[in-house]
Amino acid sequence: MFVAIFQKLPRLSMLQLLSEIETSEDPGISIYIPAGSAESEIKSILSIVSKEEMVSGILNQIVTSHTGAVLFWGEHYKYLILPPFSIIEKVIYQDYCTGPLFTLLNKDLIVALVLVRLGNYAIGVFQKETLISCKVGTGIIHSRHKKGGSSSQRYARHRDKQIEYFFSRICTHIQEQLNPVHKSIDFLYYGGEKFTIRLFRAQCAFLKEFDNRAADVLLNVRDPRQASLKSAIREVWASNIISWQEREEITDI
């Protein structure tokens, strides 16, 4: 019986695993599946694996992946990898071929991070995982007024003004950080609370220039700080993987 194990590996750990797979003498195959591939096509590709219970278990993972998937399958190594950036070309190798994924994880990409929660923000520009520049700050946003009446309405208008001013400041700092490398930025990732990010993007017109480079994933950041930037960029470069280990079935006697 095979048991699936779900993990998230940072970039360096993923590279070490790829080196281990590449040097293995165990016969296997490698399947590169681009994002957006049709479900029927993925099923056809996975039929090479021939383990129906495993194919059905990973099909949805591949179909819903924004970046595609890589499957290494052999006697010893059985891995499905959902990389941080897109697989472009569908290829099937009759051995362990880690080269394309290794190259993807070593790309010298420029990534911008915009992390926002009401009261805190962090903006960072990274070359691969190295921080090039950043701006971190806070703003005064009063909590919601719980009482009703006219005073509550005045309080709500005052709070809206605070949020508008806070967003305006962040937008200015984003332009300062991103303009020097505007054309070089490969991806922009947002992090924070979903509703806040949506409001902020609507107010900051400058960010529309990056819509075609904005990642589909919203980073889960509770407290935007400089330390949050460093942990968030590790999250950006991490790969989700599923591995299978064979375990003996326990039968009742």
* 27 pLDDT higher than 60: yes
Cα Rg, the chain, nearest whole Å:
23
CATH number for the domain whose boundaries are 2-106: 3.30.960.10
* 240 pLDDT higher than 60: yes
Strand, coil or helix: what is 80? strand
Residue 55: the pLDDT is 62
Residue 93: the pLDDT is 93
- 144 secondary structure, DSSP code: P
User: What distance in Å separates the CA atoms of residue 29 and residue 93, rounded to the nearest whole number?
Assistant: 6
User: What distance in Å separates the CA atoms of residue 187 and residue 149, rounded to the nearest whole number?
Assistant: 46
Residue 75: the pLDDT is 83
Residue 128: the pLDDT is 95
**Lowest-confidence range among 58-62, 82-86, 95-99, 165-169?**
58-62
CATH number for the domain whose boundaries are 110-237: 3.30.420.60
* 50 pLDDT higher than 90: no
Give me the mean pLDDT over the 195-222 stretch.
Answer: 95
Q: What are the angstrom distances between the C-alpha of 127 and each of 130, 180, 181, 249?
A: 5, 13, 11, 48
Give the pLDDT band of residue 46 (cuts 50, 70, 90): confident
Q: pLDDT per residue over 52-91, tens digit each?
A: 556 666 888 898 899 999 999 888 888 999 999 999 999 9
Q: 87 near 71, Cβ under 8 Å? A: no
Residues of each domain in the chain carrying CATH 3.30.420.60: 110-237
Residue 245: the pLDDT is 75
* 218 pLDDT higher than 60: yes
Residue 148: the pLDDT is 52
Residue labelled with tokens 């993925």: 42
User: What distance in Å separates the CA atoms of residue 72 and residue 20, rounded to the nearest whole number?
Assistant: 12
Residues of each domain in the chain carrying CATH 3.30.960.10: 2-106
Residue labelled with tokens 């599946």: 33
List the alpha helices (DSSP H) in 80-188: 99-105, 150-178
Give the pLDDT band of residue 161 (cuts 50, 70, 90): confident
Residue 11: the pLDDT is 97
Give the pLDDT band of residue 113 (cuts 50, 70, 90): very high
H/E run at residue 200: helix 194-203
* 19 pLDDT higher than 70: yes
Instruction: Record the pTM.
Output: 0.87
